[in-house]
Amino acid sequence: MSERKWRPLFLSYLLRQRALVISIGALIGLATLLFVSTLLLTSPPVLAQDGNQLFLPIISGGGAAPTPGPTPGAPPVANDEYVVLGWNDLGMHCYNRDFQNLAVLPPYNNLWAQVIKRGDPPQIITDTLNVSYSFPDNTYSMGKSNFWEFDQQLFGVDLPDNVGLTGKGLAGEMDAGGNHFVAEGIPLTEFSDSNPNQPEPYQLADVVVTDASGKKLASSTVVAPVSTEMHCDNCHYDGGVEGIRTGSVETNILRLHDKENADDYPSGHTGNLMGRRPVLCAECHASNALGAPGVAGLPNLSRAIHKKHAGKVQNTTEGCYNCHPGPTTKCLRDVMSAEFNMGCTDCHGDMEKVAKNPSPWLNEPRCDACHKEPQYAQNNPLFRLSTGHGGVYCEGCHDSTHAIAPSSQGRDAIKFIELQGHGGPIDACTVCHVTAPAGGSPHDAP
Ligand code: HEC
Ligand code: HEC
Ligand code: HEC
Ligand code: HEC
Ligand code: HEC
Ligand code: HEC
Ligand code: HEC
């Protein structure tokens, strides 16, 4: 019993850490399935799954009186009173395909939004309005993931069906906080309702702004990236590493872990992992992604896993894709990879370097380490928490880490096209300003 004592504690910690600590990342899910679909990667930019063009009629007008015919070159929102910028804060969220043996990360996506009242000057609004989110083609998770069968054993809470660790479901209200709205911990899976057997890692959310009377003022179609693609099976298959053969990749890993470390399991956490499944790795190895403190003296999970596998995978994007999603998903889809051939190690360094991160998830590469001109300086150590021009989040204009626009994944462009008629970053001043101020770039102005 004592070994489970930390869990409620950890959970309340987890529930307290709103925006930051639980931000879960570009990764995880001990996927045992090899995903063979390349369908989504080849679908054209602005087509919905049903082939309908998504961007034409999307922004429904706000309160301003409609003016006849758009000005040539004016953005689609030129007659709207409000616009909403929406984004997922991390590059990609990864969760386990199957929770019966072990868990690295639960289903847990975050959506952020900023509502801007168009004007001269524009105003960022957080009171008086409501922002809601939903996934029109992803309305339930039960049956798409077995997380809810193991939530009690893994996280010490028995969650209602389709509800995640912070109480959010697949549709609901976003919470106002400071200068933005956020829905944290959405238990999203990679399986659409219309095709529940085919992973679709670029799920589409509808983010909708309404006023107190319920009138719709603005909306945005935002990608929530989510994947279980993780190829531990490249090596930990039956008969693979150390010849272990237990019938599944997850149990092969647990058997190997017991073989190597069982003598060192700390008090309160003893007993073979194989004998007490499902196992949460963060029970012993600290993970800032979960706000889990781990056991003092043991390496954090990032350090343990990257150090142990250094030299066993190539120090290239392909090497990282052994565990991060992945050769099929291609979570790294930003302009720097697409147009300038940059890969994971250009920004993060090699496996040894990642293993030495003193504060995983909270200490990450910075844009301004390379883009040294003063106008690109971050005002927070983390890109995802930094704001620039007029208090707008960097991610609001550029999109999230690993998706820095223009991204090679067509769905990422939909929201930008809805706002300005072309892909990102947001460069059309009149998306927010009613009258275009002088200046060629938002970085030329404060
Ligand atoms: C490229 C091959 C490869 C991939 C991919 C891989 N591993 Fe390993 N892993 C190894 C090898 C080889 C060892 C054994 C190292 C040794 O014997 O020192 C190992 C060891 C381990 C260990 C035991 C560590 C210990 O205590 O000694 C764990 C746990 C582990 N891997 C987990 C994982 C997980 C989880 C994944 C997927 C996220 C994964 N591995 C992906 C090759 C791989
Ligand atoms: C009961 C506590 C416990 C749990 C749960 C646990 N580990 Fe470990 N792990 C340890 C201990 C103890 C070591 C040895 C640490 C050392 O040698 O410094 C270790 C070592 C490792 C190593 C090798 C680190 C190295 O540098 O040699 C990896 C990789 C690893 N664990 C991965 C995992 C993964 C993945 C999970 C979840 C499937 C997991 N662990 C769950 C206790 C645990
Ligand atoms: C053997 C599997 C494996 C490989 C290979 C791997 N990772 Fe990871 N990575 C993980 C796991 C598991 C986590 C989650 C750790 C946690 O939850 O704290 C992670 C987390 C991370 C994080 C976030 C935590 C942190 O340390 O800031 C970064 C960044 C990262 N990996 C970068 C890389 C890069 C870059 C490569 C390739 C050079 C790579 N990883 C290769 C398994 C792997
Ligand atoms: C490791 C260094 C490095 C880091 C970190 C980095 N960049 Fe870059 N970035 C580059 C290089 C090199 C280019 C290629 C063009 C150039 O030299 O400006 C580039 C290009 C770009 C471009 C495209 C410019 C164009 O000409 O189309 C954008 C936008 C961009 N980066 C934004 C960012 C943002 C936002 C971040 C932080 C999330 C970031 N970069 C982090 C090195 C980096
Ligand atoms: C152009 C630079 C760049 C490249 C290339 C890059 N990353 Fe990142 N990565 C970042 C930045 C910047 C952050 C931190 C963003 C922040 O501070 O919010 C980050 C964060 C992460 C995180 C933590 C979760 C998150 O999204 O914040 C993981 C995991 C990660 N990267 C893995 C990878 C892997 C794996 C690859 C290759 C497939 C990769 N990165 C390629 C710049 C890069
Ligand atoms: C209001 C929208 C907006 C905001 C907010 C914004 N940017 Fe930009 N950013 C742009 C546009 C448009 C460009 C392309 C024009 C240019 O280069 O100035 C750009 C260019 C860049 C580049 C140039 C890449 C290159 O080499 O040409 C970097 C780096 C960058 N932004 C980083 C950031 C960072 C970091 C933040 C937050 C601190 C941020 N931006 C906030 C719109 C924005
Ligand atoms: C995503 C929304 C957005 C976009 C796009 C945008 N701005 Fe702004 N801008 C703002 C906000 C918000 C403020 C802050 C207004 C305030 O001071 O309260 C602001 C303020 C300014 C200011 C100073 C205050 C004023 O109105 O004179 C200037 C100048 C400016 N922007 C120029 C530009 C230019 C030039 C562009 C296009 C290249 C641009 N902006 C694009 C949101 C935006």
pLDDT at 335 over 60: yes
CA distance 98 to 232: 13
- 360 secondary structure, DSSP code: T
Task: Give, using CA atoms, the residue closest to atom 41 of ligand 7.
Answer: 429
Specify the ligand 1 atom closest to the Cα of 313.
1
Residue 11: pLDDT band with limits 50, 70, 90: very low
Tokens (6 digits) for 64 = 């301003």
Q: List, in order, residues 6 or more apart from 352 with CB less than 8 Å away.
A: 306, 307, 310
Instruction: With respect to residue 430, please indicate whether it lies within any of the assigned structural domains.
Output: no
Instruction: With respect to residue 9, please indicate whether it lies within any of the assigned structural domains.
Output: yes
Ligand 2 center–CA 253 separation, angstroms = 11
| Of 284, 300, 306, best ligand 3 pocket probe by most atoms within 8 Å of the beta carbon | 306
Instruction: With respect to residue 411, please indicate whether it lies within any of the assigned structural domains.
Output: no
pLDDT at 48 over 70: no
| Residue 66 belongs to domain spanning | 2-227
Percent of the residues in the chain that have a pLDDT greater than 70, as a whole number: 84
Split into its structural domains, the chain has a count of 1
CA distance 282 to 285: 5
Strands 171-173 and 175-177, sheet pairing: unpaired
Ligand 7 center–CA 81 separation, angstroms = 15
pLDDT for position 4 = 33
pLDDT for position 73 = 76
Ligand 7 center–CA 440 separation, angstroms = 11
Task: Give, using CA atoms, the residue closest to atom 14 of ligand 4.
Answer: 340
Q: Report the chain's terminal Cα–Cα distance, integer Å.
A: 56
Tokens (6 digits) for 155 = 């996280």
Beta bridge partners of 110: none
Contact 88, 225 (CB under 8 A): yes
User: From the CA atom positions of the chain, what is the Rg in Å?
Assistant: 22
Residue 306: pLDDT band with limits 50, 70, 90: very high
| Of 333, 364, 408, best ligand 5 pocket probe by most atoms within 8 Å of the beta carbon | 364
Average pLDDT over residues 140-152: 98
- 372 secondary structure, DSSP code: -
Instruction: With respect to residue 60, please indicate whether it lies within any of the assigned structural domains.
Output: yes
Q: What is the per-residue pLDDT across 384-431, written as a single tens digit (0 to 9) for each?
A: 999 999 999 999 999 999 999 999 999 999 999 999 999 999 999 999
Instruction: With respect to residue 41, please indicate whether it lies within any of the assigned structural domains.
Output: yes
Q: What is the per-residue pLDDT across 261-270, written as a single tens digit (0 to 9) for each?
A: 999 999 999 9
pTM of the complete model:
0.91
pLDDT at 52 over 50: no
In this structure, what are the phi and psi dihedrals at residue 124, rounded to the nearest 5 degrees? -85, 125
Candidates 161, 136, 140; CA nearest to 151 is 161
| Of 253, 284, 303, 352, best ligand 2 pocket probe by most atoms within 8 Å of the beta carbon | 284
Task: Give, using CA atoms, the residue closest to atom 19 of ligand 7.
Answer: 390
Burial class (CB in 10 A: 0-12, 13-18, 19+), 359: exposed
Q: Which amino acid is at 127?
A: D
CA distance 109 to 93: 6
pLDDT at 24 over 80: no
Average pLDDT over residues 181-210: 98
In this structure, what are the phi and psi dihedrals at residue 216, rounded to the nearest 5 degrees? -75, 125
pLDDT at 1 over 90: no
Contact 29, 191 (CB under 8 A): no
Instruction: With respect to residue 367, please indicate whether it lies within any of the assigned structural domains.
Output: no
pLDDT for position 440 = 87
Task: Give, using CA atoms, the residue closest to atom 40 of ligand 5.
Answer: 344
pLDDT for position 72 = 63
Q: What is the per-residue pLDDT across 353-377, written as a single tens digit (0 to 9) for each?
A: 999 999 999 999 999 999 999 999 9
**For residue 271, which ligand has an atom nearest its CA?**
2
Instruction: With respect to residue 166, please indicate whether it lies within any of the assigned structural domains.
Output: yes
259 lines ligand 1 (CB under 6 A): no
Instruction: With respect to residue 272, please indicate whether it lies within any of the assigned structural domains.
Output: no
Ligand 4 center–CA 226 separation, angstroms = 24
pLDDT for position 71 = 60
301 lines ligand 3 (CB under 6 A): yes
